[in-house]
Structure 1
Amino acid sequence: MRYITILLFVLTTIAQAEVTLVEVIKSENKMHLLDGDKVIKSYHVAFGGQPQGHKQQEGDEKTPEGHYTLDYKKEDSSYYRAMHISYPNAEDRAQAEARGVSPGGFIMVHGQRNRLGWLAPITQRFNWTDGCIALTNDEMDEFMTLVKIGTPIAIRW
């Protein structure tokens, strides 16, 4: 009975919390949902195949670093549900233009590739995306419930 009470307390606390920041720490393959300074949920995540460093151009398999916004949800993705990250920002576009390359884009927090969610226990052990941030499908459902459009996301090494 005590465990049920604790579980209900935890679920109620999460439900009452408001995610004010999504913090991503690439060097640890971690994503934290914060309400102020309090971590209310943490996930193990996967990134692009070349995770270290800031995304410089399309096709470099890097996940951007910096401060962005989660600006819209996409339910008809090639992956199980997705929320778009506002990369590239003006600075990203200017730096890419100075190098004569495309900055890339369409960077998302998303679930597993459609019809392959059952592989998540394996795929989430590797950095397998083209620069996105991947969760399991169950985690993606929770993420989409807890995180509102307009929530800031801070990504760092």
Structure 2
Amino acid sequence: MRNKLVVLVIVVASCFAYTKLMARVGPGSPPPDAPLEQRADLIRVYKSERRMVLLRGDAPISTYRISLGTAADAGPKQREGDEKTPEGRYEIDWRNPKSMAYLSLHISYPNPDDRRNAEAGGFPAGGDIMIHGLPNGWGLFGNVHHLWDWTDGCVAVTNAEMRDIWARVPTHTPIEIMP
């Protein structure tokens, strides 16, 4: 029994160290921008369906299966650390090609209403809500990542999908996150 515990501790420590190392490495170069006619002018996230759609005008141009915050089904994000994915209208306000997850697009949460509501409850609103790929170095989990919600409130896709999204979603693209 003791040997199994030692092996388990070594495996967990190795996974932790691997994740920390890969988080510092980053994914390399982001893809170039897609042609204008292939770029989205709206992102719509359907939390209950675990689906994200890129739209140009009223026409969907891409759809993705997603993972959300571990408490995503418990309603909209209310404060830092609640592991919920926000709901409402935001925008992609900056990009990070060297994030701890494969590429990331920052969602402008919290907005002024989110801040007021969190502060009224005596909590910080939180932030760093992103659309991102898998944690760096864990891309091999590809399509199985969507079998459960595992983020702290972000919207996660596969690395290949994140490259496509990065190329199609300019900064300041609005995003609607629906229940």
Both proteins in one fold, TM over 0.5: yes
**What is aligned with 2:167?**
145
Greater per-residue helix proportion: 2
Alignment match, 2:45? 24
- TM-score, length-normalised on structure 1? 0.89
Is the radius of gyration larger for structure 1 or structure 2? 2
CA distance in 1, matches of 2:88, 2:42: 13
Q: 1:57 maps to what in 2?
A: 79
The match for 2:91 is 69
Provide the rounded CA distance (Å) in 2 between the counterparts of 1:146 and 1:17.
Answer: 6
TM-superposed deviation, 1:17? 3.0
User: In the alignment, which residue of structure 1 is the partner of 2:65?
Assistant: 44
**Distance of 1:118 and 1:18 partners within structure 2:** 28
Percent of residue pairs bearing the same amino acid type: 44
Q: Which amino acid in the other structure matches residue 96 of structure 2? A: K
Alpha-carbon deviations, 1:28-65, whole Å to 9, x = none? 00000001110010000100001121100111110000
Structure 1 gaps of 5+ residues are 1-13
Question: Cα offset for 1:121?
Answer: 2.3
Partner AA of 2:135 in structure 1: R
Aligned mates of 1:126, 1:120 — CA distance in 2: 13
SS of the residue 2:72 aligns to: coil
Which runs of structure 2 are paired with 1:96-107 in the superposition (5 Å)?
Answer: 96-107=118-129
> Between Structure 1 and Structure 2, how many residues are aligned?
144
Kept after mapping to 1: 8 A contact 2:70/2:83: yes
2:173 is matched by which residue type in structure 1?
T
Letter in 2 for 1:56: Q
For 1:92, what is the secondary structure of its paired residue?
helix
Partner residue in 2 for 1:3:
none
Cα-to-partner distance string for 1:50-86 (whole Å, 9 max, x where unaligned): 1121100111110000000001110111100000000
Distance 1:83 1:38 in 2: 22
Instruction: Give the whole-Å Cα distance in 2 for the aligned partners of 1:49 and 1:60.
Output: 9
Q: Does 1:122 align with 2:144?
A: yes
Superposed displacement of residue 125, structure 1? 1.3
Name the CA distance, whole Å, in 2 between partners of 1:28 and 1:35: 21
State the distance in 1 between where 2:39 and 2:100 align: 28
1:88-117 CA deviation, whole Å, 9 max, x = no partner?
Answer: 000000001110001110000000001001
